[in-house]
Structure 1
Amino acid sequence: MAVHSGGCHCGNIRLSFSTAIDPAGMEIRACQCSFCTRHGSRAAADPKGRLTISVEDKARLQVYRFGLRTADYLICRECGVYVAAIAGEGNDARAIVIVNALDEREQFSREPIPVRYDAESREQRLARRRTAWMPVEVLGI
């Protein structure tokens, strides 16, 4: 597996994304909800990969929930960068990584696929995330 590092602009939040998928071939999703479009979000996940998120100062981490309240959107309070979203807790937690927050983001060059999830019920959304998102570990919070 290759490891792709990244994080927020000020360095408070660090990312380590492990995947066997070549970055140039990885599916990139551009969610069309108002939050993601305002952030210019390009999200990726490898259900067989892993995301590790390290937070230096949890007071500078903003956790935001909206809509069906099925995921935590992680944003740095210091520099404003949206880095990842997490659904579930503990060993069941699954995540997406925001490609724009990765150091080598230009390697993830596949054209983003616009996606809309507005028609999903809460249960459908959680089920999709359990299968399409990747395991995650969060350190420091």
Structure 2
Amino acid sequence: MTVHGGGCHCGNIRLSFSSALDPAGMEIRACQCSFCTRHGSRAAADPDGKLVVSVKDRARLQIYRFGLRTADYLICRECGVYVAAIAGNGADAMAIVIVNALDDREQFSREPIPVRYDAESRERRVTRRRSAWMPVEIQGI
């Protein structure tokens, strides 16, 4: 496993993304919803990997939910960086990492695949995320 570190600009939120996949070949998704488009989001996940999110100051973490309200979008209140999305709770929580928030983001060089999930039902969205997203550990929340 290779560990890709990262986080928000001010350092309040830190990321540790572990994956055995080659970052240059990893599928990168560019969700076309208004939130992701406005953030220039490029998301990745490795179902066999893991994401660890560490938050120094909980008061500076913004958790945003919209649409079907099936995921929490993590944004730093201090510097405004969108770092990850998390669905579920505890041991069942799954996540995507926002490649732009990784320190070695240039290694994730595959052209993003534009995706649209607007037509998904709540059940379909949860099922897709369980199969395609990765386990996540959250520290400091």
Query: Fold match, TM over 0.5?
Result: yes
Amino acid of the residue matched to residue 11 of structure 1? Answer: G
Q: Does 1:5 align with 2:5?
A: yes
Do structure 1's residue 99 and structure 2's residue 99 form an aligned pair? yes
- The runs of at least 4 aligned residues of structure 1 exceeding 4 Å deviation read none
Q: Which residue of 1 aligns with 2:49?
A: 49
| Cα root mean square deviation, aligned | 0.2
Q: Secondary structure at the match of 1:46?
A: coil
Q: What code does the residue aligned with 2:53 have? A: I
In structure 2, C-alpha distance between the alignment counterparts of 1:61 and 1:131, rounded to whole Å: 27
Q: Taking structure 2 as the reference length, what is the TM-score of the superposition? A: 1.00
Q: Match of 1:112, as an amino acid?
A: P
The Cα of 1:133 is off from its aligned counterpart by 0.1
Q: Distance in 2 between matches of 1:37 and 1:84?
A: 14
Tell me, which stretches of 5 or more residues in structure 1 are unaligned? none
Give SS of 1:91's match. helix
Unpaired segments of 5 or more residues in structure 2? none
SS for the counterpart of 1:38 is helix
Amino acid at match of 1:62: Q
Number of equivalenced pairs: 141
SS of match in other structure, 1:124: helix
1:131 counterpart residue number: 131
% same residue: 85
Structure 2 CA distance for aligned equivalents of residues 36 and 84 of structure 1: 11
- Please state how far the C-alpha of 1:79 moved relative to its aligned partner: 0.1
TM-score, L = length of structure 1: 1.00
